[in-house]
Amino acid sequence: MIALNLNMLIGFLLDFTVQFGSVILLLFIATKGRELITQTNLKKSSYYGNKAVVISTIGYYIAVILIILSAIQGDSFGYIYDTISIFSIVIIGLITLYLNRLVINIFYLKGFDPKHELDRENVAFALFQTAGLLATATIFYNSFAGFEFTLALLSVGIIYFIITQISIFVVIKIFILTTPYDDIREIKRGNIAVAIEFISLFIAVALLFGNIAKEVIEIDINSIATLFIYFTISTIFLTYLPSLFTSILTAGNKKINNSIADGNMIVAIKSATIKIAIAIVIIETLPLNIVIT
């Protein structure tokens, strides 16, 4: 005969109800904060059918889902603890998305009017914006998913998240300086091929640094050294190798940057695929125990 443990069942249902209710409420909060972060107002009639707004909105909600998943991973420690943990992590995550938008606007998109770019259906701008949000959410997920919620671990997660975010922006800036064309001007022109390059670069670097973040439980010389190794390797490999391999895949075309600047999306997709592949190879072949023990 199978015995039914009612206390365990009631506890499970209570925990599930609390977590599910928390997620629904947080999605409502995220929806209200969407305009602030993505700078889109879906009530505007000019946005109906606007591809740029659609892309920006989808990217935002994917980022929000990653953040929420990071908050509900791990063991349950009671509905009160779970509620505090979920709300604290998700609210911090939404704040990081907002800060990401500010940093991108200040350091990369000077002179841009994001609302104007979305109004005129600049898909390249929407893709660039989405890339930053997804990179931030990926790093956030790896920084916070599955750990026991304590102030000490929360502070470690926040500090390491900030360090990795700065590293991502530095890698992106180095990439911009190495391209012969004006990346930001191309984004403003609506060059989708250049935007595809940035999506792959943001995601590739986020995967690399996220691989470290999920293993770190304290900030020390070992974790910083690992980050430096990944930073150096990712900067060199992701800046120079994709052009070499893309040349091979495009029948010896040696002017990859020129093709991307001209808006050749096929070349951009090949280059983007190679960036992601390089990141995965580095993650699988460069062991973290080189310095993290």
Which two three-digit tokens encode residue 225?
């050294």
The number of beta carbons lying within 10 Å of the beta carbon of residue 34 is 19
Domain residue ranges of the chain, discontinuous segments joined by +: 7-38+46-290
Q: d(Cα 35, Cα 23) in Å, to the nearest integer?
A: 20
For the ranges 128-137, 139-148, 217-226, 249-258, which has the lowest average pLDDT? 249-258
Q: d(Cα 181, Cα 169) in Å, to the nearest integer?
A: 19
Q: Per mean pLDDT, which of 13-17, 106-110, 188-192 is the most reliable?
A: 188-192
Q: d(Cα 255, Cα 231) in Å, to the nearest integer?
A: 27
In order, the DSSP letters of 208-233 are HHHHHHTT-SS-SHHHHHHHHHHHHH
Q: What is the mean predicted confidence (pLDDT) over 265-269?
A: 85
Residues in the chain: 293
Q: d(Cα 19, Cα 23) in Å, to the nearest integer?
A: 6
Q: Contact 264/271 with Cβ under 8 angstroms?
A: no
Q: d(Cα 276, Cα 257) in Å, to the nearest integer?
A: 18
Number of H helices, E strands in the chain: 11, 0
User: What pLDDT is attached to residue 162?
Assistant: 76
The number of beta carbons lying within 10 Å of the beta carbon of residue 17 is 11
**pLDDT tens for each residue of 40-69:** 766 665 566 788 888 888 899 999 998 888
Q: Contact 43/61 with Cβ under 8 angstroms?
A: no
User: What pLDDT is attached to residue 192?
Assistant: 92
31: confidence class by pLDDT, cuts 50, 70, 90: confident
Q: Contact 26/93 with Cβ under 8 angstroms?
A: no
3: confidence class by pLDDT, cuts 50, 70, 90: low
Q: d(Cα 76, Cα 84) in Å, to the nearest integer?
A: 12
181: confidence class by pLDDT, cuts 50, 70, 90: confident
DSSP state of 288: G
User: What pLDDT is attached to residue 36?
Assistant: 78
Q: What are phi and psi of 163, to 5 degrees?
A: -60, -45
